[in-house]
Amino acid sequence: MATARAVCNLALRKLGVLGSGRDARGTDMTDTLDALRGMYTAWVSSGAFGRLWDVVPTGTNYTATGGERIFRQSAATLTVTLPELVSECQQSDYGHEPTRYYGTNITVSTVGDVTTVLVEASQPIGYAVPPRDASVVVISDQVGGQTLTALYDGHSKRWQTVEGLGLDDDAPRSDADLQGLASCLAIEISDQFGADISDQTIVAAGRYKTAMVARFGMRRESTPGVYM
């Protein structure tokens, strides 16, 4: 996974304002990192990673499941846990509904010259899976007066916070397509640096955004029908 510094440098090189093998100046790097953080939060707000469900925790500790905007309105809620495994869920108009995933057992046995194949009915084989790639948890903290955004990277299998992202921290979703992510950032900051955008940068950014929104590389989730 590439660091935020590497993503920022690559974005500036795509704009032609930074030479190959060089690091950006302090002020340019700071502005570009701020733009990277803002780009992530803008994607969350636009629904690029999916819709968020509003949750108001009532206990001392709350474990998120992904796809949630958690409203902390009481100092009694001390801990919000970002899970390593979650129940495989489908979303409905009523919230998160846990579902099982199934496996089919095929048993082949041979007695003498007779071979028997037994296909058993699908059986539940588990409830817990890693969070869906690009899952989001937003914590709106009324008590502390801050908002925290966490993204789940399905490639590295870990949660990463956006607001505290530093230059030497791994950039969320950079493993998915480093060139595409840097191209998106280059377009984001092009007006600040008065630079032109190449056709290849536009193509790479479009590829990245399409993959991010469509997420064809992940398992399909059930979506409830709506009938009028």
pLDDT of residue 102: 52
E runs forming strands in 2-127: 53-55, 61-63, 68-72, 79-81, 86-87, 89-92, 95-98, 101-103, 106-111, 114-119, 123-126
Structural domains counted in the chain: 2
- pTM to 2 decimal places: 0.77
Query: Is it the case that residue 225 has pLDDT exceeding 50?
Result: no
Same domain, residue pair 150 and 205: yes
**Backbone angles phi and psi of 208, in degrees to 5:** -65, -45
Same domain, residue pair 156 and 208: yes
**Backbone angles phi and psi of 67, in degrees to 5:** 75, 35
Alpha-carbon gap, residue 168 to 173, rounded angstroms: 15
Q: Is residue 219 part of a domain?
A: no
Q: Is residue 148 part of a domain?
A: yes
pLDDT band at 34 (very low <50, low <70, confident <90, very high): very high
Query: Is it the case that residue 119 has pLDDT exceeding 80?
Result: no
Q: Is residue 21 part of a domain?
A: yes
Same domain, residue pair 114 and 59: no
Using CA atoms, how far residue 115 sits from 30, 88, 122, in Å, is: 69, 37, 22
Same domain, residue pair 61 and 17: yes
Same domain, residue pair 134 and 25: yes
Q: What CATH number has the domain bearing residue 36?
A: 1.10.3230
**Backbone angles phi and psi of 127, in degrees to 5:** -125, -25
Q: Which domain holds residue 94?
A: 86-129
- Structure token digits, residue 163: 């607001």
Q: Report CA 205 to chain centroid distance, whole Å.
A: 17
